[in-house]
Amino acid sequence: MRIDNERKLFVCLRVDNKMRDQLAQAPARDKVYFDGTDPRYLTTIRTSEDNYIGKIIDGGTSAASMDDLKRNLLSILTRVAPGRHRDDAVKVFALDEGEPPPVPGKEEPEEPEAPIRGSYY
């Protein structure tokens, strides 16, 4: 096992249906808090199973600052998606640099389908 101090971390919450609806209906003035354009605020990352909203931070961030990050994340979410967000629902994931986070406001291009060719045995 080795330590990769270059890998970014994502401190986040899973977006449930209620939060997704709240984010979609947020006033335009509040969208800056979660549209990913400002690194001081939140960004949304989609996985194959779920969507997550949170902050991207540098690897090697001190453990002491993680509590501040969690409070900041929950504070912003309380503003844009009111409700009870549990402390223990906040997760930390390592980001895979192979796939950069989506650019805000841009749709991901669909990959063209490869032509189907005969099998070679």
Residue range(s) defining the domain that contains residue 77: 9-94
Which two structure tokens, joined as six digits, stand for 16? 């449930």
- For residue 112, is it within any domain? no
What's the pTM?
A: 0.75
- For residue 18, is it within any domain? yes
Dihedral (Cα; 18, 45, 54, 58), 10-degree rounding: 170
- For residue 16, is it within any domain? yes
- For residue range 69-121, list pLDDT tens digits in order: 999 999 999 999 988 888 889 999 999 876 555 555 555 554 444 444 444 43
- For residue 118, is it within any domain? no
Domain count, the chain: 1
- For residue 28, is it within any domain? yes
- For residue 29, is it within any domain? yes
- For residue range 42-69, list pLDDT tens digits in order: 999 998 889 999 999 998 889 889 999 9
- For residue 13, is it within any domain? yes
